[in-house]
Amino acid sequence: MTSNQEKKIKDIIDKINYHNDLYYNKDNPEISDAEYDRLISKFKEIQKKLPNLRNEDNPLMKIGGKSSDEFTKFNHPTRMLSLDNAMTRSDLENFIKKIIRFLSLKDTNIQFSIEPKIDGLSVNLIYEFGQLKVAATRGDGLDGEIITSNVSTIKEIPQKLKSKSPPKKLEIRGEIFITKKDFLELNEKSKNQFANPRNAAAGSLRQLDVKITESRPLKFIAHGFGVYEEGKKTYYDQMMEFKSWGVPISPYLTVANGIDDLLKNYTFISDKRSEIPYDIDGLVYKVNDTLYQSRLGIVGKTPRWAVAHKFASETAKTSIKKIDIQIGRTGSVTPVARLEPINIGGVLVSNATLHNFEEIEKKDIREGDTVVIERAGDVIPHILNVVSDKNKKRSSLFKPPKNCPVCGSCIIIDPDEVVVRCSGTYICEAQIIGRLKHFVSRSALDIEGLGDKQINLFYKEKIIKNYGDIFKLEKNRRKILNMEGWGELSFKNLVEAVNDKRKIELSKFIYSLGIRFIGEKNAQAIALAFKSKNEFRRFYNNDQEVKKDIFNILENTDGLGPKAIESFNEYSDYKDNRNQILSLIEEVNLVISSLKTVESPITGKKIIFTGTLNSMSRAEAKSMAEKLGAKVVSSINKSTDILIAGEKSGSKLKKANELGIEIMNEESWRKLSLL
């Protein structure tokens, strides 16, 4: 950086500090809010290029500064992944079977690493030539927040790796946590400020005042790394190398072959759970061979090569005060039990889902009953069984209503479905509000300060009636400022939190719409079908050609079932939805992140596989072809470019010959795909 640039940065920082002081301490601002905002935006642009700026030098970090909870965004060099859960032996069997099938392995005795799943916060540590350069939170896996100065206070995390020839660049991932014992001590000192060790770790780490972080007993254990080409051949050996460089790794790390061995370790660790000094909620199994890991790749946000084997749940007894009905965003009518509050494993539970009316009947659950409640992880608690005397006089069985208690529409009871539904999809306020809440919720857009409570209020006041309104809050500035509990600062923070989320990945955008059957995975699969923002816009402008093309791709997409496609189609056909989406697109910055592809002779070509491939599974061949930029189709016609023919190719090979389509045998395909 030139001295001129340095001076420019210093000038902006001084200016912000000067105006902060006038605004907050002297209550005598010299510039308008708009001018101040421009100054902040200018600084934020510069800040992106300064990952090492210390918190104490950052005017946005200072408490009392206008945007006191601002941390700089950080784009992870490699995505930080999540894990799928396995609860039962059969879930695990399926996980292993899929791996063996994908890799087309003859030897099915595949090796896994095993580690406890720590209940903490994951961080990404970027080392350059062995020196810690950046530490960032996980965020949504793509973008996190820079917390380098906070992390630098954790003594266990080496500032410099103890290696003679450290790699040029390395991303080490791991968990930051607080031990159970330290948590109890900390909570005693801080008047029970935190609900559990995980919250305490989160509250301690994301601190604007680094001194607070420094005073907290944070610990770290590594559990992974980003792309590392010079890395070891196995995960286990890699972790051992990290250990020799001074990075803490799990003392329980081990390897096992096959399901019985995995389960033995599971029982061993779960029996030891209470002796382990920190909270764990299961085990993580990873394919040990790193080459296999990269061949297996990821589906959406989760790797095919790892899984979290969760521990069983905890239970407690209490009584049902009342049964209520809730209408979900997809119209589902869910009975909910209001309970006499009860503490289960450290969490106060006062509601339990009754799932559906069939469940109530099957378990014969009634108001006033004493019941056993089960709670596992983040899942909503549910009722296992009734324990009170069923011969005693009890209230009558709770039946589904005929009409929606919110909008009065008919309740539909489909004999093929257990869930009963309100038919007022687009008029039922409970469904509309439910979709709005989902849109801003943590798993969707995650807008800070806009939760269920605010959505209820803003909907009632007609400030937020649809998704687009969320991005036009400025229009209602006066109205909101007149509402109880709202002031200039809280309004400004809310608008900023919304603005922060204008950049949205298409898959997240689609997921956030809350369409029935379109969860995160299906949304990702659908998003991949769109090549550009313009194509997405044309789709919602009802361009028939684009629609035909997209549905053709969706029908050929692995793992995307007909129900999901039909639901997406129905949603996208409804005029009001289309209009809402079209105006919403104008408010946000949609990011179309297509699969990262490698330029190859088949880039942009439509290819089709037929017959049996001996060297790899069809799924692996397809994912390789997609990485090489080809589009894999399932039916052959004039527009198909290449047919890859394995053994016993039949009618498709014949048709390819007739149509004069290029034909490739397995040998040529292998050579090409190993490029």
> What are the catalytic residues?
117
How far, in Å, CA of 197 to CA of 43, rounded?
A: 35
Residues 358-397 that bind ligand IVH (CB under 6 A): none
- Least CB distance from residue 71 to ligand IVH, whole Å? 18
- Both structure tokens of 71: 């941390």
Shorter beta-carbon distance to ligand IVH: residue 118 or 201: 118
- Both structure tokens of 466: 């649809």
DSSP string, 375-417: E-TTSPPEEEEE-S-TTS--PPPP---SB-TTT-PBEE--TT-
Nearest to 496 by CA among 105, 58, 186, 40: 40
- Least CB distance from residue 81 to ligand IVH, whole Å? 4
Shorter beta-carbon distance to ligand IVH: residue 308 or 643: 308
Residues 132-161 that bind ligand IVH (CB under 6 A): 138
By the rule CB under 6 A, 81 interacts with ligand IVH: yes
- Least CB distance from residue 293 to ligand IVH, whole Å? 9
- Least CB distance from residue 584 to ligand IVH, whole Å? 30
DSSP string, 249-298: B-TT-EEEEHHHHHHHHHHHHHHHGGGSSS-EEEEEEEESBHHHHHHH-E
Residue 24 DSSP class: I
Give the interface segment with ligand IVH, choosing from 80-88, 188-196, 439-447, 593-601 (CB under 6 A).
Answer: 80-88
Position among 66, 117, 198, 304 found at the interface with ligand IVH (CB under 6 A): 117
Give the interface segment with ligand IVH, choosing from 75-83, 312-320, 409-417, 421-429 (CB under 6 A).
Answer: 75-83
How far, in Å, CA of 337 to CA of 322, rounded?
A: 6
Beta bridge partners of 116: 283
By the rule CB under 6 A, 666 interacts with ligand IVH: no
Shorter beta-carbon distance to ligand IVH: residue 115 or 620: 115
Task: Name the burial class of residue 657, with classes exposed (0-12), middle (13-18) and buried (19+) by CB atoms within 10 angstroms of its CB.
Answer: exposed
How far, in Å, CA of 347 to CA of 196, rounded?
A: 9
Shorter beta-carbon distance to ligand IVH: residue 173 or 618: 173
By the rule CB under 6 A, 82 interacts with ligand IVH: yes
Residues 345, 379 contacting (CB under 8 angstroms): no
- Least CB distance from residue 645 to ligand IVH, whole Å? 36
Give the interface segment with ligand IVH, choosing from 54-62, 115-123, 258-266, 388-396 (CB under 6 A).
Answer: 115-123
Residues 215-254 that bind ligand IVH (CB under 6 A): 223-224
Position among 65, 130, 139, 303 found at the interface with ligand IVH (CB under 6 A): 303
Task: Name the burial class of residue 154, with classes exposed (0-12), middle (13-18) and buried (19+) by CB atoms within 10 angstroms of its CB.
Answer: buried
How far, in Å, CA of 225 to CA of 261, rounded?
A: 25
How far, in Å, CA of 559 to CA of 521, rounded?
A: 9
Position among 13, 132, 147, 175 found at the interface with ligand IVH (CB under 6 A): 175
- Least CB distance from residue 138 to ligand IVH, whole Å? 6
Position among 16, 53, 60, 83 found at the interface with ligand IVH (CB under 6 A): 83
- Least CB distance from residue 568 to ligand IVH, whole Å? 27
CB atoms within 10 A of CB 570: 13
Q: What is the size of the binding site for ligand IVH (CB under 6 A)?
A: 15
Shorter beta-carbon distance to ligand IVH: residue 196 or 215: 196
Sites of contact with ligand IVH (CB under 6 A)? 81-83, 115, 117-118, 122, 138, 175, 223-224, 284, 303, 306, 308
